[in-house]
Amino acid sequence: MNTKQNRILLIDDDEPTNFMSKIIIQKADENSIPSVMQNPKSALNILKNESINIEEIPDLIFLDINMPSMNGWDFLDEYKDLEIHKRKNILLYMLTTSMNDDDDVKSKEYSCVNGFMVKPLTVKSYSQIVNKHFK
């Protein structure tokens, strides 16, 4: 499918969802390397770290909205203030259980958000993203 190894970051507090999403990603694209962070604040801290290596920056982030310590909107409010060189090549998709049209509309207010998807992630939906952005 794709020869470059894509670093995929799932930011979601739900372990079963993360487990299934990792399987879907690996099934859809053998060149994708999924990792999981259940705490959005920790993910931000890593991205803000001055000593982060460019190879450690994810190519694609799937972000949940409803999380206890920091929700997806709070994450985005801080994420958009990251240095441009750290986020310019990161694709960010909202991946959520929310079927609220207001959340989809709100996601469009963030220029850093590339799309809004309702869980679960599927091989088809993941492949469409890879084909659109990584080919």
Backbone angles phi, psi at 45, to 5 degrees: -60, -40
Task: Identify the domain containing residue 49 by its residue range.
Answer: 6-133
Per residue in 46-78, pLDDT (tens digit) is 999 988 887 789 999 999 999 998 999 999 999
* Rounded-to-integer distance, Cα 109 and Cα 116, Å: 12
Does residue 1 lie in a domain region? no
pTM of the full predicted structure?
Answer: 0.94
Does residue 72 lie in a domain region? yes
Match 């859809």 to its residue by tokens: 28
CATH number of the domain within which 116 lies: 3.40.50.2300
Per residue in 69-127, pLDDT (tens digit) is 899 999 999 999 998 878 888 999 999 999 899 999 999 999 999 999 999 999 999 99
Question: What's the structural domain count of the chain?
Answer: 1
Match 């049209």 to its residue by tokens: 101
